[in-house]
Chain A
Amino acid sequence: MKLHRTVVVLLAFAMPAGAHHEFQTFVQSHSGRPVNCALCHTSPDGPEGTGAGQIGSLTEGERERLNRARAAFEPSPVVDSPILNDFGNLLVARLGKRRILELRSKPELVAAELGFANDLDGDGIPDAQEYLDGTHPLSRHHGAPLRLFWHELRAHAFQVAMLFAATAITLYGLISVLRGFALRLQAHESGDAP
């Protein structure tokens, strides 16, 4: 019987149940990219449920952390909620829980209020921009394609230049050797001719 109950409870929360659909809806319509709760939460299915990173599976210590984080109504230096990911925690730390609840009716202001200074994943695109773009703020390999490309190109400028030089020089060498062979061949042929 215990197994039955676990299974049913698990399945019941397989769908996103997040409390803050407003942000998700805004990001999706603003960026044209579908997003899910994993933008800010630990679990892609939102905080409620018994899966990893959801309230139902928290240990005693994590519960305490959750309660402390839930009390962060005003901006505070550090928030460490077990059901939020680093971006979610950053949002609560910067804006405070009260402001976040207010912003549910104005989700477009989140980016400006968070500011464009933070870049948690170090992909060169500020977290606030990633929120607007609907890309993952915690994945170094995910970002708006053009922004990511230009940033990486600048970061890898030296390698790109060296790669260009190496390719060009190797190609030149290969071509020279080929032409050398061709000349040899030609000499061989015309040597036979007369």
Chain B
Amino acid sequence: MMQSFLLLGLPYVAILGCIAGSIWRFRTRRFSYSALSSQFLEDKSLVLGSMPWHLGIFVVLAGHAAALLFPRVWAGLVASPTFLLSVEAIGLAASALAFVGLSVLLVRRLTNGRVQAVTSVVDLVVLAIFLAQIVLGVLIAVIHPYGAAWSTGTLAPYLWSLLTLRPDASLVIDLPPLVQAHLALAWGIVLLVPFSRLVHVFSVPLAYLWRAPQVVVWSNPRRWSSSVAAATVLPARRLFLRGAAALSVGGALLAAGTAETLGRFFFGPRLSEEQQARLDARKLERLRQTQREKELAVERAAQRYIRIATLSELDARKGRYFIDYEMRPALAFLGEDGLPLLISAKCTHLGCTVASELDAQGRVLCPCHVSFFDIKTGMPNAGAPAKEPLPHLAWVLMDDTQQVVASRGADGRDYGRVDPERAASLSVYIAKREERVS
């Protein structure tokens, strides 16, 4: 019963009380809408207390407001661990600042005789409640951390249910007692606003940042330059303030979005075993490829002959790729005469590697700029980008005892003779120097 009053009844009492009280105070004692400055009574510890207190409480309240008023946006932001941790850290630091400031103010009220004279009971009550509220908040942050995250799913909907006049305490009823006490105290503070110096929150000079500049200008000519300076320095200061505020908000947003990813970018990937294995396999495959190329080069430097295939493996329609002595790609076909037909596969236009399958007219295609080469003559088709023919390559045929039985020169002339019976046992080679058998 007590609990549901504190969670559902007190809020409405507080809000209504706050509104009614403010109106009453505005109508009856309009000029008391202020913090009742005691600066002229004592100013040293006032600055020491007031500055940190206001700065701290402003940051803390801004954080609370952002999380409770825009829970969805906020939930998206705190999904980033960096942002969440930063918010918690900033929140704790600001609370500490506010606590220190408030303590100084309290001590001042209690010890300084001149200030004591103007201190009412309400002032002391307000200070004590705030001190308690801050202690509660810090305790919550320490004992139930990450409130910036969990409040979006509990406190924010609760607050919105109150504001939309569909009060629903089910989401907060099971929260820890510390949180409920913090909530109740918060409503208490709202209720206190119109009846204490707290009323000055309604006159926070935020409008200062946007209102038109108001400057008192001396009509005295001697003061001319100082008044002009004042007329521009004040707006300039306002611009700087506004700029600094926007830069810190924008910078904080940018940092929230990128800091974590950036950190992880430079931290580097830590792959799972499976990912690492896949990456290593890919790299290994590439290393093998590089190794193959190197082996081909070494082989060509050292060997007098390079074996292409057995004669029976050659096909008349589909060429076999091989690499010639200059490390250029070439194709091996079976010619119409039953002998090998070796032709360069490096397009004479811009050096792409031609395809290996013949089309209906016995031509291979270079896919880069569409030249068709007749493999018998090597000639490109009319109008093709390539003008020069693909050159034929010389070859030798050897039997299994490594005896050269036949060969063809680069000029296309054949030497030696192939016995059709033995053809199956012969292998096709390219030779470093042209070989002729009689």
Contact = CB atoms under 8 A, between A and B. Distances in A.
A169 B309 contact: no
Contacts of B292: 7, 10
B321 A176 contact: no
A5 B235 CA distance: 85
Contact of A15 (B237, B249, B356): B356
A187 B257 contact: no
A191 B225 contact: yes
Interface string A140-164: 0000000000000000001100110
Contacts of A3: 295, 299
Interface string B227-266: 0110111011101101111111111011011000000000
Interface stretch (A85-93, A101-109, A130-138, A177-185): A177-185
Interface string B412-436: 0000000000000000000000000
B359 interface: no
A166 B243 contact: no
B168 interface: no
Nearest to B298: A3
B246 A170 contact: yes
Contacts of A169: 246, 249-250, 253
A127 to B, nearest CB: 20
A183 B232 contact: yes
Contacts of B239: 176-177, 179-180, 183
B285 interface: yes
Contact of B247 (A167, A177, A183): A177
B77 interface: yes
B233, B253, B356 — most chain A CB neighbours (10 Å) = B253
A12 B233 contact: no
A12 B237 CA distance: 77
Contacts of B318: 15
Report whether over half of chain A's contact residues are helix, strand or loop; otherwise say mixed. helix
A173 B246 contact: yes
B251 A170 contact: yes
A176 B323 contact: no
A187 B247 contact: no
B240 A180 contact: yes
A174 B229 CA distance: 23
A8 interface: yes
A64 to B, nearest CB: 20
A78 interface: no
Nearest to B319: A15
Contact of B76 (A15, A158, A166, A173): A158
Nearest to B237: A180
A71 interface: no
Contacts of A176: 239-240, 242-243, 246
Interface in B252-282: 253-254, 256-257, 281
Interface string A10-35: 11101100000000000000000000
B233 A187 contact: yes
Interface residues of A, number: 40
Given A8-B309, A15-B356, A170-B254, A190 B228 contact: yes
Contact of A159 (B235, B257, B357): B257
Interface string B298-315: 010000001111000100
B228 A11 contact: no
Nearest to B429: A4
Contact of A167 (B224, B229, B250, B323): B250
Given A8-B307, A12-B320, A173-B246, A166 B240 contact: no
A172 interface: yes
A194 interface: yes
A162 B246 contact: no
A8, A15, A174, A190 — most chain B CB neighbours (10 Å) = A8
A7 B228 contact: no
Given A8-B307, A12-B309, A15-B357, A180 B236 contact: yes
A172 B257 contact: no
B66 to A, nearest CB: 12
Given A177-B239, A177-B240, A170 B250 contact: yes
Nearest to B282: A52
Given A12-B320, A183-B239, A191 B246 contact: no
A177 B244 contact: yes
Given A166-B257, A169-B246, A170-B251, A8 B320 contact: yes
B322 interface: yes
Contact of B306 (A4, A162, A165, A177): A4
Contacts of B225: 191, 194
Nearest to B77: A162
- Which 10 pairs between the two chains have the least Cβ-Cβ distance? A173-B246, A170-B250, A176-B243, A173-B247, A180-B239, A187-B232, A169-B250, A177-B243, A166-B253, A183-B236
16 contacts: A8-B308, A10-B292, A11-B321, A12-B313, A15-B318, A162-B76, A167-B250, A170-B254, A173-B247, A174-B247, A177-B244, A180-B240, A187-B228, A187-B229, A187-B231, A194-B224
Given A15-B357, A162-B76, A167-B250, 7 more contacts: A163-B257, A165-B250, A165-B253, A166-B253, A169-B250, A180-B240, A187-B232
Interface of B: 76-77, 224-225, 228-229, 231-233, 235-237, 239-240, 242-251, 253-254, 256-257, 281, 285, 292, 295-296, 299, 306-309, 313, 318, 320-323, 355-357
Interface of A: 1, 3-5, 7-8, 10-12, 14-15, 52, 158-159, 162-163, 165-181, 183-184, 186-187, 190-191, 194
